[in-house]
A and B are shown apart, each in its own frame.
Chain A
Amino acid sequence: MTSNMLPPAIIFILGAILIPFLKGKTKSIYMLLIPVAAFYILVNIPQGNIWTYEFWGYNLILGRIDKLSMIFGYIFTIMAFLGILFALKVKDDLQHVAAIVYAGSTLGVVLAGDFLSLYFFWEVMAVSSTFLIIASRTRASREAGFRYILVHLIGGLFLLAGIVLTIQKTGTIAFDYIGLTGIESYLIFIGIALNAAAIPLHAWLPDAYPHGTPTSTVFLSAFTTKSAVYLLIRTFPGADLLIWIGAFMVFVPIFYAVLENDIRKVLAYSLLNQIGFMLVGIGIGTQLALNGAVAHAFCHILYKGLLFMAAGSVLQMTGKIKCTEIGGLYKTMPLTCLFCIVGAASISAFPLFSGFVSKSMIVTATVNEKMVFVYLILQFASAGVFHHAGIKVPFFTFFGHDSGIRAKDPSWNMTLAMGIAAFACIFIGVFPQPLYNLLPFIVDYVPYTGAHVVGQLQLLMFGALAFALLILSGYYPPEIKSINLDVDWFYRKLGRGGYIILDKGLNTLNMISEGVVMGFLKGLVFFFKNTAAKIALFVAVNIWLALGYRDKRLEIKKNRLYNDILEGTLPIGIGAAVTISFILLVFILT
């Protein structure tokens, strides 16, 4: 049955190609049908390894279908649908193409059963998401996009080096549980942890995401970090290191979130905090903890998407998104306000909202493992989340001081996307069982006990009391037009020196991984490069012929191009570059 179905990733990526050629309603319907088709396939495929292809002596697996990959496949497809619906009226093909390729490559990462297809989709993901950041077409967004892709290319090189060493050691490209054992596993770990924005490799996220367009940030918030969370669950469950990284992550970003003036930056820091919860769950590694991490990723994608949609709506309708410039918007944007409050209640883990039924699994796992310290940090962070994401975001946006802005609720498609996400947040909170049924392990957990509900409500409501008293007394830190330094300072402010170090570091890493690659997988690299070179030659020769080059001059030009590509220092990623060149073309033309 699967032989006549395409992998969801391919549906998205190939589907994106047609978008620039369609117009009006046809285009809208076509874009919405892409995730629908992918979802239909996901629902109908059997478990096991499917879509396997023989490639250069290796066995590529484009469909590793089990409960873990399926639940992530579902939520990414659902979020792609909501994101496309939210961005439906955007008149910018670059954003549509990049977003859909991005969503597709994320599905590729989640379903990949071997290292090579994983790495391929990984690089496509990095590049396509960069286009979503620079789509704002401002100087700040271009620079942020440049830093973003640099950081991700470095992360990709770590991953690649680890992959190559692992393949060399095991002789197979298939992967599953890895565990922190040798140098190669640490290299892979660093590569994945960077995409998960694990501290201290996190600064790219609050640096880049707030520069996206009102609609593109919705996609960004969902895919990169959560696909890395998926991979960590797959490859490093039970790694103690993750408990401590996670505990640090739930803790530190909330201080930044309290101080930040830009609402989308507040949301970016609270995103880090939420991933911290997931990493703690992965680090603990028990069935309850892993279920909790998966469930929390699922819920988080929905409510964080919802919050970024609400922030995007405000930005779209008012042109502003800083606490100092907005406020009092509930008067004319009541629906956006309502949906934002639902998202805020969900991220705060209020009973009857989605965060409650997922986060509490992770917290309970720390209790079962008698981790008092981690438990107290998570509880501190839970109160802190309610404080900055639950209260601050809706309060300063829709209430607080009246900014005098009288913007209306956004267009029907944006409102509908928020409405669906808000409904899902409440539905999961009230009826958690359908979500629990999708989790990788059998769930033996009851979220709604009297003690748990009352305890959680006390924690949150008395945190709110602190907020109310501090605001009323004037002690609460005022919103100030400012930025707050994070570790990206090291590569942004050390000036030229920093760039040179980065450049040298990048090149050295590049050369090392190139050496490793060349040594161990010469044939494979040659194949990738050769393909790229042949494609480039094919295009170039036709142009040269048209320009009138013949015989010897043509031969010299051909040889030069062929050698340039073969001796270039690009790693396997050049294969991804071929795919990406299409987005580049759209970028140039739009």
Chain B
Amino acid sequence: MKKELSIFDNPKNVKKLLIIFYCSLVILLISEFFIHPHPAFSFEHVKGFSAVYGFFSCVLLIFLAKILRLIVMKKENYYDK
């Protein structure tokens, strides 16, 4: 029997992963200053536009999904009744 993986059982490893993740976000923001910009529309001249847009898209997505859930969610046997 092979040993099973369990690296994420250790909270330290999860923490390390999160730190790497946060660092990569910072690097992404900084790197925008070193590349040749190629904005699609005028509002993309703003540095970090994609980052802000991506973040708030997902927050809005979850917020609206929670509202949608109030309307459409039914018990699993809804159609069998």
Residues of chain A with a CB closer than 8 A to B60's CB: 380
Could you tell me if A454 and B61 are in contact, using CB atoms closer than 8 angstroms?
no
- A455 & B21 in contact (Cβ 8 Å cutoff): no
Indicate with 1 or 0, residue by residue over A4-44, a CB within 8 angstroms of chain B CB atoms: 00000000000000000000000000000000000000000
Is A460 a contact partner of B54 (Cβ separation < 8 A)?
A: yes
Q: Is A458 an interface residue (CB 8 A)?
A: yes
Within 336-366 of A, Cβ neighbours of B (below 8 Å) are at 364
Given known contacts A255-B68, A384-B57, A484-B73, A450 and B35 CB-to-CB distance under 8 angstroms: yes
**Contacts A255-B65, A380-B57, A482-B76 given: A465-B25 contact, CB under 8 Å?**
yes
Shortest Cβ distance from A402 into chain B, in angstroms? 8
Distance of A216 Cα from B74 Cα, bound (Å): 27
Residues of chain B from 1 to 47 with CB closer than 8 A to chain A in the complex:
4-6, 8-9, 18, 21, 24-25, 28-29, 31-32, 35-41, 44
**Given A463-B57, A475-B62, A477-B66, A458 and B8 touching (CB < 8 A)?**
no
A68 to B: closest C-beta gap in Å: 28
CB under 8 Å from chain B, chain A span 474-493: 475-477, 480-486, 492-493
Asked if A272 CB lies within 8 Å of chain B CBs, one says no
Complex-state Cα separation, A330 to B17, whole angstroms: 16
Task: Tell me which residues across on chain B come within 8 A of A460, comparing CB atoms.
Answer: 54
| Contact of B35 with A332 in the complex, beta carbons under 8 Å | no
Cβ contacts under 8 Å, A470 to chain B: 58-59, 62
Least Cβ–Cβ distance between A435 and chain B, in angstroms: 23
Which B residues are CB-close (under 8 A) to A465?
A: 21, 25, 55
Tell me the chain A residues, 432-480 only, with Cβ under 8 Å from chain B. Answer: 449-452, 454-468, 470, 475-477, 480
Chain A nearest CB from B8 CB (Å) reads: 6
Question: Closest A-chain residue to B37, C-beta based?
Answer: A451
The residue on B at minimum CB distance from A477 is: B66
- Interface positions of A from 401 to 428, Cβ below 8 Å from B: 402, 406
Assuming the contacts A456-B50, A458-B51, asked whether A399 and B8 have C-beta atoms less than 8 A apart, the reply is: yes
A460 to B51 Cα, complex, angstroms = 8
A483 lies within 8 A of B4 (CB): no
Which of B40, B58, B73 has the most CB atoms of chain A within a 10 A radius of its CB?
B58
Q: B54 contacts A463, CB within 8 Å?
A: yes
Given the contacts A255-B68, A331-B5, A406-B4, A372 and B41 also touching, CB distance less than 8 Å: yes
Decide if B5 touches A259 in the complex (CB within 8 Å): no
Instruction: Name which residue of chain B comes closest to A332, CB basis.
Output: B4
A455 to B51, CA, bound (A): 8
Indicate if the CB atoms of B55 and A466 lie closer than 8 Å.
Answer: yes
The reply to whether B73 and A480 contact each other, CB–CB distance below 8 Å, is yes
Q: What separation, in Å, do the CA atoms of A459 and B18 have in the docked complex?
A: 18
Q: Roughly how many angstroms separate A465 CA and B36 CA in the complex, as a whole number? A: 25
Check: A97 CB closer than 8 A to any chain B CB. Answer: no
Q: Which of B24, B40, B48 gathers most chain A CB within 10 Å?
A: B40
The answer on a CB contact under 8 Å between B76 and A481 is yes
Q: Which of B31, B35, B36, B50 has most A Cβ within 10 Å?
A: B50
State A117–B64 Cα separation when bound (angstroms). 45
Contacts of A258 in B (CB 8 A): 61-62, 65
Shortest distance from the beta carbon of B54 to any chain A beta carbon, whole Å: 4
Q: Is the CB of B53 within 8 A of A492?
A: no
Q: Which residues of B contact A379 (CB under 8 A)?
A: 50, 53-54, 57
CB pair B6–A331 under 8 Å, yes or no, is yes
Residues of chain A within 8 A (CB-CB) of B69 are 259, 477, 484
| Smallest Cβ-Cβ distance to B71: which chain A residue | A485
Q: Is A254 an interface residue (CB 8 A)?
A: yes
CB-based nearest A residue for B56: A466
Q: Which of A455, A456, A481, A484 has the most CB of B within 10 A?
A: A455
Tell me which residues across on chain A come within 8 A of B8, comparing CB atoms.
330, 399
Q: Could you tell me which residues of chain A, from 317 to 336, have a CB within 8 Å of some CB in chain B?
A: 330-332, 334
Contacts of B58 in A (CB 8 A): 383-384, 387, 462-463, 466-467, 470
What residues on B are CB-neighbors of A375 within 8 Å?
A: 40-41
Q: How far is the CA of A529 from the CA of B65 in the complex (A)?
A: 51
A476 to B25, CA, bound (A): 21
Q: Which residue of A lies closest to B67 (CB)?
A: A255
Verify if A367 is at the interface (C-beta below 8 Å from B).
yes
State A399–B8 Cα separation when bound (angstroms).
8
A interface vs B, CB < 8 Å? 254-256, 258-259, 330-332, 334, 364, 367, 372, 375, 379-380, 383-384, 387, 399, 402, 406, 449-452, 454-468, 470, 475-477, 480-486, 492-493
**B contact set with A: CB distance below 8 Å:** 4-6, 8-9, 18, 21, 24-25, 28-29, 31-32, 35-41, 44, 48, 50-62, 64-66, 68-69, 71-76, 78-79
Q: In the A-B complex, list the 7 residue pairs whose CB atoms are closest, starting with the nearest.
A: A450-B35, A466-B58, A451-B38, A459-B54, A458-B50, A383-B57, A458-B51
Q: Can you list 20 A-B pairs with a CB-CB distance of less than 8 A?
A: A259-B68, A330-B5, A383-B53, A402-B9, A450-B38, A451-B37, A451-B38, A454-B35, A459-B57, A463-B58, A465-B21, A466-B55, A466-B59, A470-B58, A470-B62, A475-B62, A477-B69, A485-B71, A485-B73, A486-B72
Question: Known contacts A461-B24, A465-B21; can you find 6 more A-B pairs with CB under 8 A?
Answer: A383-B58, A455-B44, A457-B28, A462-B50, A483-B73, A483-B78
